[in-house]
């Protein structure tokens, strides 16, 4: 029997033939892909001809095409729809892929060819994009240890292999904790909960095979439960379970994994000649140094914690007025903050939510992309990997640009959070390859599915990442789409969130689920006026996580990360009633892989730019100004990693921004 993963896909738009793919096929396909990749690398390294850009760099870009295809399908499925078989395959693949990568960067003959081209770069007649790819390839090999020899080279290979195994284990432990825990609710426990929360809890109960409603650890369910449930003891139980993910003891406990990861990262950096892992990691980012990151975060922390402390006084008074003695706790904050928001802004989440239907918000994102960039979206009837997933063809002026897949609902087989990935990235080398872009979210199911305003922002955020992939227009896959500095990659996503705040967008798409009526102007005005409400809390929980991440990696690795986390939070004066957004044992951004390690700050670094970038539209005449949108596409969305991030932003805006726009956007510019 043929393996569909290894065939030329003759499906529409060369989509993976999901209806023919079985878990048992991934192992053989991966082995074949690795063999093909190794053969391609050997052919490049052993080529008797002198190195040229074509026979070395371009050949390297094309090597591993089968591996890219197989891994692109597998890892999307493993994250969005895990099975025991897929989890076992992840554990099996992690060391194999690490060994494959290390064998490439440790190939002395291959690196010699790359290094020769780098030394000769001024005489090669390369285009700007080719020069950029050569630079990035040489830098990547060097930072991966290609220049190391003997013990150092072998030890680095072992370290990277172990890190790959640990990252997979961390992710699977977290998924197991999130999947297994739920809290059954009696009918009396539903008191005070809005209809949308009750409906979500009943749907979650059905998904868990229960006879009644339950609260799970899905953010889209547990957060509104913490906002609305008057049952303090239930809020406490739910919050503590949420906060304890990854540290419940036993096989799924992540604390020892985190400690080992940090120690190995420090060793990796030392082997490569860096003072710390943060120094190594940040060298290639816009921030460049740990000092620059800390400076930004502290500029934001001080007004944020001042605002949070002032808010805590008001919420504590509300707690006491309810007859509860003692201090405000983390399971109290959202409940009393929601009450305060209703009192001060006449804004009720239960009143808002019917205006944010999932399908309407998808259409709103599509409409904004059409008005800004001329994109059209047509639903596709094609086999996909899960019944909840949906697909659209993306075109412009009749030309096919991409396939977009949206997978929006929470389920036990899906890891938590929201993300954008590409099953296939855009490139022109070797033929015009158009991307398959995937947005994954964890919204609560319902009929119809209703989103909170924060959920809607998440949808727009991930769609901003998708636009970065869809509109990519480069020759080389290694710099395609979101292949940019980590502290630049969040600019397109966070910038696109701003269009959800545009009144004409909400007037058109925020229509009541039952009546179809648009959101009343008075409610819309109150919603927009409350944009910075509770921003002290939101900023503190985020910046605390970013500073803990930085401290973990800026210096000697801590023997006990939980103790180190506590020391950082105490030094910051962390408010007792606010928890970190991501405590260490469930900090997947940092410990599931190297992506955001020393880099969780990047959302805020990008926010400095996104506030300034959206202001460019206002200065030019409005949120849909055509000339500004064209500049955004040309210099940011289509350019990928073809230039340094600061050069791309400066080309778009004419200058780099300061932190003032961020503080103003968060309402923290006037905090005493």
The residues annotated with a catalytic role in the active site are: 462
183 φ, ψ to 5°?
Answer: -120, 110
Of the candidates 517, 522, 590, the residue with the CA atom closest to the CA atom of residue 552: 590
The whole-angstrom separation of Cα 131 and Cα 134 is 5
Which residues 6+ apart lie within 8 Å of 542 measured at CB?
581, 603, 604
- Please, where are the H alpha helices in 106-215? 108-119, 128-143, 150-180, 195-207
Q: Which of 77, 63, 103, 95 is nearest to 25 (CA)?
A: 77
Alpha-carbon distance 215 to 314, whole Å? 28
Whether residue 448 is preceded by a cis peptide bond, meaning omega within 30 degrees of 0, is yes
Distance of alpha carbon 248 from its chain centroid, rounded? 25
- Which two tokens mark 382? 């094609």
Neighbours of 665 (CB within 10 A): 20
Between CA 331 and CA 334 the distance in angstroms is: 7
Q: Measured between alpha carbons, how far is 302 from 136 in angstroms, rounded to an integer?
A: 37
Q: How far apart are CA 137 and CA 504, in angstroms?
A: 45
Residues 272 and 23: their CA atoms lie apart, in Å, by 38
CA gap 90, 93 in Å, rounded: 5
The burial class, CB within 10 Å (0-12 / 13-18 / 19+), for 165 is middle
Q: Which helix (H) or strand (E) holds 103?
A: helix 84-105
Cα–Cα dist 79/417, whole Å: 10
Closest by CA position to 629, among listed 489, 516, 492, 479: 492
For the chain, report the end-to-end CA distance as a whole number of angstroms: 71
Distance between CA 576 and CA 570 in Å, rounded? 10
Q: Strands 390-396, 214-216: parallel, antiparallel or unpaired by DSSP? A: unpaired
CA distance 469 to 457: 19
Cβ atoms < 10 Å from Cβ of 509? 24
Helical spans, DSSP H, in 409-478: 453-470
3-state secondary structure string, 624-658?
CCHHHHHHHHHHHHCCCCCCCHHHHHHHHHCCCCC
Half-sphere exposure for 542 (CA within 13 Å, toward CB): 19
């Amino acid at each position: 029997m043929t393996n569909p993963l290894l065939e030329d896909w003759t499906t529409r738009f060369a989509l993976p033939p999901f209806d023919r793919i079985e878990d048992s096929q991934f192992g053989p396909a991966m082995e074949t892909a690795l063999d093909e990749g190794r053969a391609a690398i050997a052919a490049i390294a052993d080529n008797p001809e002198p190195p040229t850009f074509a026979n070395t760099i371009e050949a390297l870009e094309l090597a591993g095409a089968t591996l890219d295809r197989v891994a692109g399908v597998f890892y999307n499925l493993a994250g969005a729809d895990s099975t025991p078989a897929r989890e076992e395959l992840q554990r099996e693949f992690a060391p194999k892929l690490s060994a494959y990568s290390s064998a490439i960067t440790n190939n002395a003959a291959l690196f010699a060819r790359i290094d020769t081209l780098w030394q000769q770069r001024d005489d090669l007649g390369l285009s700007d994009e080719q020069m950029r790819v050569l630079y990035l390839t040489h830098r990547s090999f060097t930072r991966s240890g290609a220049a190391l020899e003997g013990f150092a080279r072998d030890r680095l290979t072992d370290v990277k292999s172990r890190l790959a195994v640990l990252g997979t284990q961390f992710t699977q432990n977290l998924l197991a904790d999130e999947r297994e825990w739920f809290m059954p609710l009696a009918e009396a426990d539903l008191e005070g909960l809005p209809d949308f929360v009750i409906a979500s809890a009943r749907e979650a109960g059905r998904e868990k095979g229960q006879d009644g409603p339950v609260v799970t650890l899905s953010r889209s369910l547990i957060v509104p439960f913490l906002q609305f449930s008057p049952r303090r003891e239930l809020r406490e139980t739910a919050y503590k379970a949420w906060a304890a993910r990854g540290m419940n003891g036993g096989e799924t406990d992540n604390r020892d994994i985190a400690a080992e990861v940090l120690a190995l990262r420090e060793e990796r950096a030392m082997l490569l000649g860096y003072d710390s892992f943060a120094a190594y990691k940040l060298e290639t980012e816009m921030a460049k140094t740990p000092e620059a990151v800390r400076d930004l975060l502290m500029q934001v922390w001080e007004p944020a914690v001042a605002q949070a402390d002032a808010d805590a006084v008001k919420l504590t008074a509300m707690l006491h007025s309810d007859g509860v003695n003692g201090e405000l706790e983390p399971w109290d904050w959202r409940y009393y903050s929601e009450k305060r928001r209703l009192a001060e802004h006449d804004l009720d989440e239960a009143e808002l939510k019917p205006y944010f239907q999932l399908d309407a918000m998808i259409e709103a994102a599509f409409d904004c992309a059409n008005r800004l960039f001329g994109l059209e979206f047509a639903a596709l009837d094609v086999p996909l990997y899960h019944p909840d997933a949906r697909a659209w063809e993306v075109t412009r002026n009749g030309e096919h640009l991409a396939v977009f897949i949206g997978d929006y609902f929470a389920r036990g087989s899906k890891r938590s959070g929201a993300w954008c990935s590409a099953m296939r990235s855009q490139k022109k080398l070797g033929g015009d390859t158009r991307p398959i872009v995937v947005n994954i979210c964890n919204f609560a199911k319902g009929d119809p599915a209703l989103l909170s305003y924060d959920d809607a922002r998440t949808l727009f955020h991930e769609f901003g990442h998708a636009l970065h992939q869809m509109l990519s227009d480069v020759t080389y896959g290694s710099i395609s789409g979101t292949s940019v500095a980590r502290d630049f990659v969040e600019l397109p996503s966070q910038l696109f969130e701003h269009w959800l705040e545009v009144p004409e967008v909400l007037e058109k798409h925020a229509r009541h689920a039952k009546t179809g009526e648009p959101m009343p102007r008075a409610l819309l005005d109150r919603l927009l006026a409350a944009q910075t409400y509770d921003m002290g809390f939101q900023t503190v929980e985020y910046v605390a996580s970013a500073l803990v991440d930085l401290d973990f990696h800026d210096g000697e690795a801590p023997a006990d990360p939980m103790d180190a986390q506590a020391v950082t939070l105490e030094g910051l004066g962390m408010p007792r009633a606010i928890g970190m957004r991501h405590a260490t044992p469930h900090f997947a951004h940092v410990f599931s892989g190297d992506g955001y390690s020393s880099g969780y700050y990047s959302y805020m670094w990008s926010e400095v730019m996104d506030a300034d970038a959206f202001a460019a539209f206002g200065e030019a005449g409005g949120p849909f100004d055509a000339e500004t949108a064209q500049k955004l596409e040309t210099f940011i969305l289509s350019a990928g990693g073809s230039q340094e991030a600061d050069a791309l932003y400066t080309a778009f805006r004419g200058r780099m921004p300061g932190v003032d726009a961020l503080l103003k956007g968060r309402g923290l510019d006037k905090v005493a």
